[in-house]
Amino acid sequence: MRVVPLRIKRRGVELRLVIDGDGGRARKADNVLLKAVARAHGWFDDLLSGRVSSMVELAVREKVDERYLSRVLRLAALSPEIVESIIEGRQPPDLTLQMLLTCRGNLPLDWAA
């Protein structure tokens, strides 16, 4: 008999079965989260460099709602450790784009995912 430590975590509207320990397997990056972080950094760079003069202009150019743009733009302020863990697929299972955009969760102060 083999015992595997696992738990059920809510991830957005879905439930995930999380097996503690990766068993030596590589984790898969969350492409939705990766794309949003990349967009945030690109948009932030556009604003800082002057390629666009305002968030309104940027929202019109990107064809997105201003509220959505301002929420995604906050992802540019994530710490490098958090961004690195997202790139490597090491973020906690409940760290989703929805959670970050709606601020329905607390990021740990000591990031060791």
pLDDT at 59: 97
Rounded distance between C-alpha atoms, residue 78 and residue 111, angstroms: 11
pLDDT at 9: 73
Rounded distance between C-alpha atoms, residue 6 and residue 82, angstroms: 23
Rounded distance between C-alpha atoms, residue 90 and residue 50, angstroms: 34
pLDDT at 111: 55
pLDDT at 24: 44
Name the DSSP letter for residue 20. S
Rounded distance between C-alpha atoms, residue 16 and residue 61, angstroms: 36
pLDDT at 4: 66
Instruction: Answer whether 0.75 is exceeded by the pTM.
Output: no
**What does each of the 113 residues of the chain score in pLDDT, given as a tens digit?**
766 677 777 766 777 666 665 544 456 788 999 999 999 999 999 999 999 999 999 999 999 999 999 999 999 999 898 899 999 988 887 788 988 888 766 666 555 54
If DSSP codes are grouped into helix, strand and coil, which group holds residue 10? strand
